[in-house]
Amino acid sequence: NGRIVVAGEDGTGAPTTFQFLGGDAPRSRPLGERRAVEYFHAGQRVLVKVDSTYRSIADLDAAGATVCVPDGSTNQENLTAYPDAVAVVRTDISDCLVDLQQGQVEAITGDDTVLAGLAAQDPATKVVGDQFSNEPYGLGVRADRIDFVKFVNSVIEDMRLDGRWAAIYERWLVPSLTD
């Protein structure tokens, strides 16, 4: 989910993980990686059909509803905190969207930014509920690229200060992330 692993990129032959824009920041970084400042704070939420009565993960849990989640993801791990929700595990979150569209599941859970993209693809769905996890997004850079980390951090800070980041957020995320 948002990671690129390149064997030998660090010169030793050992796999090196890089974070790219649009993915969640790994909870632990391998040696040889620095992360620029957090550029976005996401959280896990749920996607339901627009006519659904479910408004949160707690509602789904209380009802023993089926919730699709990508296999091996932190989202799958976080869903275990809701033991009455029935996890339907799929290889990819796009498979979950097909399951929701076909009535195989009652909801999808994932990072709200990813769910916002799914909701934009399918206007018959919506993102609901509060965030129930902490998913910082960042850009990982090889540890020896200190100047590049400083550059990325300064660009992100400039965008925050001059309002470009808020404008991007309002334009692309708010429409899909508000109930």
How many residues in the chain?
A: 179
The pTM (predicted TM-score) of the whole model is 0.73
pLDDT digits (tens, 9 = 90+) for 87-106: 999 999 999 999 999 999 99
Two tokens at 38? Answer: 């957090």
Q: Average of pLDDT values for 65-80?
A: 95
Mean pLDDT, the chain, rounded, equals: 81
pLDDT band at 140; cut points 50, 70, 90:
confident
What is the percent of the chain with per-residue pLDDT over 70, rounded to a whole number? 79
Those residues whose C-beta lies under 8 Å from the C-beta of residue 52, and which sit 6 or more positions away, are 106, 107, 128
Q: Are 42 and 137 in contact (CB under 8 A)?
A: yes
